[in-house]
């Protein structure tokens, strides 16, 4: 039996499912932003100011409009916003990156009527007879789907990850509409070609919307880590898994950032394990869970185990990319800037002409980004000023518009993971010898 919740819930938002309704949402957002610009422009002119278009566009009110609409639409619209905020921050105005960054923590969920329709689609009209104590309120909600706790027919405590209706069918149009909106707004440089990144995003998102595919990734990670006492993962329930519903055993844990309350040694151990896992994913499996959301990790205080969740954003990498990334890391450790440039170029980055100011700036960015693994010392993430320096150097890149190009897509996805690990380590105030962890893979 499904359990409903009494009273109103501000997080209930019906998701537009048809292409027309989603396009209408997009148009409504654009017109709202335009109206906001007119109102703000009028106010500024009355005050005797001559505002720039950029300043009119990036007002707090417009920021709320964009974030609210994308969070309501979810799916690819929300996901592309998340990706752009994480992966092209050096090309976006900081204000826009902040707007899109809100989407990493702002997710609404389906009202009961829409949820029931999704469950009927997956299991038929008698779906409620399959599950006991199905909670209509999700325990988690994200861009592609939401997670509900229930009891399986054989009495096990399980969770069902239910995909939002219309998400899979709207991926292409959502991505194209978001790209058009950014172009029309003038917030992206006119010469910056993000089309390869967007096309790859469509493929990646279609993979994430196939829960049978995610189930295979979850099983693969479960097989790899089955004997590793540091980690615990849910088990897939194939007999209950559908294309739009992923059924798994329930694994309890506390949010990973609650580890901040633990002694330094335990925080260091947790973060060392997660960074070690990242290198294992990249250099051994060539299969990386690329979503940097902290909600994908939990912690069990009684056992010290790290719970790993959500493998929808898992991405496979070609051997050539992995080998070139190894060469990039090794060159950075050796402080050989020529080899860093060569490896970066093989990865697909534009590094500029030898001796040019742009080349030196790009090399400085790489050396700074790889700072934690360059020295055989314990790296104190809490005291690091790398994020600030990266932001400052990223702003300098905007002075070289002739050289701008979207980063290679494989690098974008791996750097999402790398950046997520850095942010989590900083949040936990962890201290880790990253150099020693990466050395085992570079030999």
The answer on 258 and 187 residing in a single domain is no
The reported pLDDT for the residue numbered 98 is 55
- In sequence order, which residues have a C-beta less than 8 Å from that of residue 193 and are 6 or more positions away? 405, 406
Give the chain's domain count.
2
- Counting Cα atoms < 13 Å in the Cβ hemisphere of 86 gives 27
The reported pLDDT for the residue numbered 202 is 83
The answer on 356 and 264 residing in a single domain is yes
Is 428 exposed, middle or buried (CB count within 10 Å of its CB: 0-12, 13-18, 19+)?
A: buried
The reported pLDDT for the residue numbered 236 is 96
Task: Please report whether residue 285 resides in a domain.
Answer: yes
- Counting Cα atoms < 13 Å in the Cβ hemisphere of 430 gives 26
| Nearest-angstrom CA–CA distance, 336 and 347 | 17
Task: Please report whether residue 117 resides in a domain.
Answer: no
The answer on 434 and 356 residing in a single domain is yes
The reported pLDDT for the residue numbered 74 is 53
C-alpha closest to that of 371 among 357, 350, 386: 386
CB atoms within 10 A of CB 435: 17
The answer on 192 and 101 residing in a single domain is yes
| Nearest-angstrom CA–CA distance, 127 and 65 | 37
Question: Where do the DSSP E strands lie in 63-156?
Answer: 134-135, 140-141, 145-151
Q: Which two tokens stand for residue 153?
A: 């027919």
What distances in angstroms separate CA 144 from CA 68, 79, 80, 396, 415, one per listed residue?
16, 8, 12, 35, 21
Cβ atoms of 397 and 433 within 8 Å: the answer is: no
The reported pLDDT for the residue numbered 401 is 59
The answer on 180 and 320 residing in a single domain is no
Catalytic residue among 268, 291, 310, 410: 291
Helix (H) or strand (E) holding 338: helix 337-347
The answer on 319 and 191 residing in a single domain is no
Q: How far is CA 133 from the centre of its chain?
A: 31
Task: Please report whether residue 135 resides in a domain.
Answer: no
The answer on 198 and 317 residing in a single domain is no
- Counting Cα atoms < 13 Å in the Cβ hemisphere of 351 gives 20
What distances in angstroms separate CA 97 from CA 28, 58, 83, 184, 266, one per listed residue?
21, 11, 10, 17, 33
Cβ atoms of 138 and 147 within 8 Å: the answer is: yes
The answer on 274 and 421 residing in a single domain is yes
Host domain of residue 434: 253-443
The reported pLDDT for the residue numbered 351 is 83
* pTM exceeding the 0.75 threshold for the entire prediction: yes
Q: How confident is the chain (443 residues) per 10-residue block, as mean pLDDT?
A: 48 53 53 51 57 52 58 55 48 51 58 90 94 91 86 94 84 75 59 72 84 95 94 96 95 93 96 97 94 89 95 93 95 94 90 84 89 94 88 71 69 88 93 96 85
The answer on 328 and 196 residing in a single domain is no
The answer on 288 and 436 residing in a single domain is yes
| Nearest-angstrom CA–CA distance, 309 and 292 | 12
| Nearest-angstrom CA–CA distance, 21 and 345 | 43
The answer on 263 and 191 residing in a single domain is no
Q: Which of 206, 232, 264 is the last residue of a domain?
A: 206
| Nearest-angstrom CA–CA distance, 360 and 353 | 9
Task: Please report whether residue 202 resides in a domain.
Answer: yes
The answer on 332 and 192 residing in a single domain is no
C-alpha closest to that of 225 among 302, 187, 277, 161: 277
Cβ atoms of 38 and 51 within 8 Å: the answer is: no
| Nearest-angstrom CA–CA distance, 208 and 107 | 17
| Nearest-angstrom CA–CA distance, 286 and 288 | 6
Task: Please report whether residue 260 resides in a domain.
Answer: yes
Task: Please report whether residue 141 resides in a domain.
Answer: no
Say whether 210 is catalytic. no
Task: Please report whether residue 424 resides in a domain.
Answer: yes
Task: Please report whether residue 111 resides in a domain.
Answer: no
């Amino acid at each position: 039996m499904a359990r409903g919740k009494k009273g109103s819930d501000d997080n209930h938002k019906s998701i537009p499912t048809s292409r027309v309704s989603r396009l209408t949402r997009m148009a409504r957002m654009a017109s709202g932003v335009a109206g906001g610009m007119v109102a703000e422009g009028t106010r500024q002119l009355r005050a005797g100011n001559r505002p720039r278009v950029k300043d009119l566009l990036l007002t707090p009110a417009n920021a709320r409009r964009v974030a609210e609409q994308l969070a309501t639409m979810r799916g690819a619209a929300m996901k592309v916003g998340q990706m752009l905020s994480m992966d092209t921050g050096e090309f976006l105005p900081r204000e826009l990156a902040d707007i899109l960054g809100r989407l990493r923590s702002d997710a609404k969920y389906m009202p009961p009527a829409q949820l029931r329709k999704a469950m009927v689609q997956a299991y038929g009209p008698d779906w409620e007879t399959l599950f006991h104590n199905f909670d209509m309120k999700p325990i988690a909600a994200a861009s592609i789907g939401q997670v509900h706790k229930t009891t399986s027919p054989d009495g096990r405590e399980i969770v069902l990850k239910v995909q939002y209706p219309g998400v899979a069918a709207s991926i292409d149009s959502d991505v194209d509409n978001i790209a058009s909106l950014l172009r029309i707004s003038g917030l992206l440089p006119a010469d910056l070609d993000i089309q390869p990144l967007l096309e790859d995003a469509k493929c990646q998102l279609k993979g994430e919307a196939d829960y049978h595919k995610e189930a295979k990734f979850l099983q693969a990670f479960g097989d790899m880590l089955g004997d590793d006492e540091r980690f615990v993962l849910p088990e897939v329930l194939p007999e209950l898994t559908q294309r739009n519903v992923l059924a798994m055993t329930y694994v309890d844990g506390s949010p990973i950032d609650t580890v901040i309350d633990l002694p330094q040694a335990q925080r260091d151990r947790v973060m060392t394990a997660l960074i070690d896992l990242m290198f294992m994913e990249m250099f051994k499996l060539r299969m990386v869970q690329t979503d940097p959301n902290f909600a994908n990790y939990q912690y069990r205080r009684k056992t010290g185990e790290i719970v790993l969740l959500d493998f929808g954003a898992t991405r496979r990498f070609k051997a050539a990319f992995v080998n070139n990334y190894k060469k990039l890391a090794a060159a950075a450790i050796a402080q050989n800037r020529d080899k860093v440039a060569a490896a970066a170029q093989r990865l697909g980055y534009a590094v500029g002409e030898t001796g040019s100011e742009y080349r030196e700036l790009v090399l400085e960015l790489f050396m700074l980004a790889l700072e934690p693994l360059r020295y055989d010392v314990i790296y104190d993430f809490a005291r690091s000023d790398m994020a600030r320096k990266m932001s400052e150097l990223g702003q300098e890149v905007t002075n070289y518009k002739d050289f701008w190009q979207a980063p290679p897509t494989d690098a974008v996805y791996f750097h999402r993971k790398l950046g997520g690990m850095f942010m989590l380590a900083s949040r936990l105030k962890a201290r880790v010898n990253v150099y020693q962890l990466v050395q085992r893979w570079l030999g």
